Chains A and B, each alone.
Chain A
């Protein structure tokens, strides 16, 4: 396929259809009327965290910019404040659509690997499903060492005073590093989550198979 036909092809509504069918609440994307109230309402947008604000993402979907949408970090920056949903004159569930697109990008393996939100989400899930309890010490340390050992030490030293304070107030138990506390039926929890994961996977696989 030549570059020209590829450029022209992107304006066919294939990608919009893909989003409508694969992404949770994706069928709302076509209803955006490009007023930009969502972008203006986003508390994170003012720190230029968003490469593409929501209404632009919707336009890119309609314009068939598949690669750019699925690989962007934008929707991962959503803090779920729900400002956009409250204000959208067309009543689009923008927050949910953002999470839906993020999840879909993750599912396809196109999401940016080291994007902090995505990384933390994975870390948190692994951490809490392992024992059925969240191990805060391991969780925060995992996040510190995200960008390598040296950076982790540096980050840890920065937070030293806070950690000592927490230790003093008995809000931090250093022995948590050696396994940590668990729920009563660890195996039961894991079996339950496994089952749920199976159900979701088969549902999504069926959807993707069409």
Chain B
């Protein structure tokens, strides 16, 4: 257990680099994943130039991008566009949002919220971060290999992914193979983390902290960990199979008789391209909830704290999250309605998809009802949490026409899909995660982030998020396919070019809007206003620890006397009852 390394005084390397402390690992995860988020977003800012101004040289950075991405004039190449698209998706999901939501927030906040001195397996925790880091470096290295980075989409559907990136010293030293190797590392990292989270939540809760006294965020992390644990292994297996296909000429995903560019492919054949899709989406649909649940957890914490009243329907929320987690395993083939699915299968998957929308509606409704008769403080984290609600609602609602197989016929693989899942993940999840950064920053550093810079970050981000993604619904309804290097090849693409440009300018605006955040994030660490251990007057256990918490977290082991959100209890001295303070001292 971790408490036995209190005594010795570790050197710099083992304190800040190869640290076993969940808080250092959490900060490492947070900073690394924020950098990856901004990098992955930058790739998209480049792609949006080609979409807005097809065939025109990319300004500013065009000359720097190298021969795999741009031509001699600095115009993005179609294969370069595909590389950026594949890497954008991969980086945002696997190197950005998941490590931030789970590795960052989960690692830092969850043990504090359950009163634990550290994670159950500190060495596993450290290994998880460093395997993630290795996966990230491996992924980025693929930009520099012959042929450039993977260009078959973040979904990497074979046979395309098996025959792509076959220049240079194929089959080893190329983008798609490196993508697969990096994915194996990233998945391994998530698996190590998820085991650790589950054991920690089961075994290291302090006295009195029963499961139904856990903060909602801990519940969200708990369910998320099960999703990671159960959904990732199939993709890891699939990744290894695709690696075999590429490197050792097996044909798990290769059918017989393929003719590529007039050349008959020498595979033994007999494989199934759809097998990959099933394995991929068996992960990737639960993965959506891996992205969302921690965000919902963060929003729940911030809303309870800033409405100064208990979260509405705490148990309902917990049951909804559990049900959501369970259902997320039986909806995956709604991504595959158009792969040749019959009526029986599509009926099953669209029915489960409609069913999974119900707990989502319940969660959203509970969070909205928490505002009723509240006393709302519009702090910066609260602004982010509140903005999550309508934007997540748009993301959820636009899932309905995609989840019904009949309307999906027209909308599948169009920009409508891009608009839909980005509303869930970017204006939804990422806004919530940013809110979480502002919320727990005082705990991590002992200082508050600047409110002024926070507003300068929030308002433009809120406007630009919608500027980027809302037009995509119109573009998709008009029938423009996704992943087109130049949609003006089609008349309907030309007709919606105004919307496309609006998205692009929105994306560049959104990029600029992150500058106040970046400044705020780094400068507040030493120039921010110093605050006490509980600046938000919050109730959960992490606020019982000093800010920043020392190694081992708590000066004395806390005891939980009540549920997590006892705000505005009648006849109390103050409007919040921290979990760790006995009744005798608060009433």
Q: Do A and B come from one complex?
A: no
